Amino acid sequence: MNKIFLTALLIINLGLIFTSNAQLARTGVNEYTPSLDIDGEPINAHGGGALFFKGVYYLFGEIKKGKTWLVPGMNWEDYRVPAGGVSCYSSTDLKHWKNLGTVLKPTTNAPDYDLDTGRVIERPKVIYNEKTKKFVMWMHIDKNDYQYSRGGVAVSDVPWGPYRYLGSVKPNGQMLRDMNLFKDTDGKAYLIYSSEDNFTMHICLLSDDYLKPTQKYSRILIKRKRESPAVFEHKGKYFLITSACSGWSPNAASYAIADHILGPWSERGNPCKGKNADKTFFLQGGFVIPVNNKPGEFIFMGDRWNKMDLEKSDYLWLPIHLNGSKMRIYN
């Protein structure tokens, strides 16, 4: 009788332990997902990226505000709002965010200017250059038909801006659409972007001041039609998470690994596991944050797009689980 009781008790305790661990995992999933800033206002920083500098995280993203409209004559979900510029938020714990305002402002009634509200300003990312003591922002600049396809660059003396726009470029004469910015451990910086009409991704070494693309670049994920790159490094391995091209609608993520940032890259499939993994839990990623003072902890930042009302889009940030070269993301 006592043995039966102890066995039952052990099973119950083990069940509680597993349940507790599952609950912790679910809690951790949304532990860092942003919603409201410290003033109670919705955080508006889409397609964003984060910079950690002197004990503070800075979140940069697109301002999505205004009526959503569909660009006529396009054969894909080309929903738009007026380009709102780039916002910045700060936090010391990745949970409580202070709105620092619009750090790169758009202009109006200047249709030929990159930062006009009638243009596209997407996926801003910022890194710090120790040599020049400048904060450098790169972003995707485009027109509504997505044929302009350029990388815009801006600089500031402080992370919270304002940023001074320097202009845009097609790296090595190639299209630049969904993009990311990666600073390696040796201080070199790279642009990672969808190119060749989204069929192939490029990784391009930047100049020492991070302001210009060099002629050193590689073509990766050739003819795989991937976008929204998010790259990070861990223990000498480079990891790249991308999404398929399906407009604003969710699809399955895929990841690849490499021993060098320029490749070669080896595709490993969808890192997401569980219900709705084939839709990446209805988010589209775009950046990975290394958690300061927690080696091996990374957060996959994603937007849950509301394509019919882009201003109402929100976020889902999920922890990345690594085991050697294997990656798993759960919700």
pLDDT tens readout for residues 140-187:
999 999 999 999 999 999 999 999 999 999 999 999 999 999 999 999
Mean residue pLDDT of the chain comes to: 92
148, 225: one domain: yes
154, 295: one domain: yes
The string of pLDDT tens digits covering residues 94-109 is 999 999 999 999 999 9
202, 266: one domain: yes
Structural domain boundaries enclosing 177: 31-330
Q: Is the pLDDT of residue 4 over 60?
A: no
3, 94: one domain: no
- CATH code, domain carrying 253: 2.115.10.20
148, 258: one domain: yes
123, 270: one domain: yes
Token pair 């490029």: residue: 202
156, 50: one domain: yes
Identify the pLDDT of residue 30.
Answer: 62
22, 40: one domain: no
Which residues have CB under 8 Å from 71's CB, separation 6+? 78, 79, 80, 144, 145
Cα–Cα dist 282/266, whole Å? 25
**Count: domains in the chain:** 2
90, 137: one domain: yes
96, 178: one domain: yes
236, 313: one domain: yes
Region 199-226 average pLDDT: 98
Region 20-46 average pLDDT: 72
- Among residues 174, 171, 225, the alpha carbon closest in space to that of 200 is found at 225
Q: Is the pLDDT of residue 12 over 70?
A: no
Q: Is the pLDDT of residue 29 over 70?
A: no
Cα–Cα dist 199/220, whole Å? 10
Identify the pLDDT of residue 266.
Answer: 98
The string of pLDDT tens digits covering residues 291-310 is 999 999 999 999 999 999 99
3, 71: one domain: no
Q: Is the pLDDT of residue 19 over 70?
A: no
For the range 138-142, what are the long-range contacts, defined as Cβ-Cβ under 8 Å and sequence gap of 24 or more?
Answer: 138/179, 138/181, 138/191, 139/86, 139/104, 139/179, 140/176, 140/177, 140/178, 140/179, 140/193, 141/114, 141/168, 142/177
Quick one: tokens of 322? 């690594």
Q: Is the pLDDT of residue 59 over 70?
A: yes
